[in-house]
A and B are shown apart, each in its own frame.
Chain A
Amino acid sequence: DTAVSQTPKYLVTQMGNDKSIKCEQNLGHDTMYWYKQDSKKFLKIMFSYNNKELIINETVPNRFSPKSPDKAHLNLHINSLELGDSAVYFCASSQDSPLRRADTGELFFGEGSRLTVL
């Protein structure tokens, strides 16, 4: 069983469209994250949720809206897609919350969702 699974793995779409990426973890973790890896391979945190509550919200355009229906799922919806949104988006989870401790333990990452905006 895949611990952190993301769908779709690949997504090609036109500028201006709205798209969603889904993430599910079966590890029983309390905290989930979205990271973005751009063409230069920098990996940057976007959001983090702990028990369905938003706890980290980096400087991300309002067009990006995460939603956590329950603590096992964290979806990412992107409105009005732009060329610069093309990247690989990684979902991750951890047992502990970065609110409480610096040692959140191991982050488990999904395999990534490659978004290409034409």
Chain B
Amino acid sequence: DAKTTQPNSMESNEEEPVHLPCNHSTISGTDYIHWYRQLPSQGPEYVIHGLTSNVNNRMASLAIAEDRKSSTLILHRATLRDAAVYYCILSGFSGGSNYKLTFGKGTLLTVNP
């Protein structure tokens, strides 16, 4: 499975932008880049996903490098509710006949008031 590398933790202040990096140097041409987050004691929650072009939605923006070997999740104004573990995931061909999401360790984001 193609792997991703994320910092273990990051800190931000409330109402400031947050840029969460992710490296995926072994990404293949068919791998989508997904971001999920997991708030304490909850299930993971979808944030955004993309293939090649930058993506925006109501929660965040996803900036994908031109060579696709890295991406950045951008939270435009962090709130206390954004404190969570953020997972950068590739939906890769599993070697069988299907695709799957393989979660890594993620980045623990702390938001200071």
Contacts and interface: CB of A to CB of B under 8 A. Distances in A.
Interface residues of B, number: 30
Interface of B: 30-32, 36, 38, 41-46, 49, 51, 85, 87, 91-94, 96-106
B103 A99 contact: no
> Which of A41, A42, A43 has most chain B Cβ within 10 Å?
A43
10 contacts: A45-B100, A45-B102, A48-B100, A56-B96, A99-B98, A102-B31, A103-B49, A107-B36, A108-B46, A112-B42
Contact of B32 (A41, A55, A102): A102
A101 B96 CA distance: 13
Contact of A56 (B42, B85, B98, B104): B98
Interface in A35-55: 35, 41-45, 48, 55
A93 to B, nearest CB: 11
A111 B43 CA distance: 5
Nearest to B106: A41
Contact of A109 (B45, B104, B105): B45
Contact of B44 (A48, A90, A102): A90
B85 A41 contact: yes
A102 B91 contact: yes
Contacts of A90: 43-44
A110 interface: yes
Given A41-B105, A42-B105, A103 B43 contact: no
A92 interface: yes
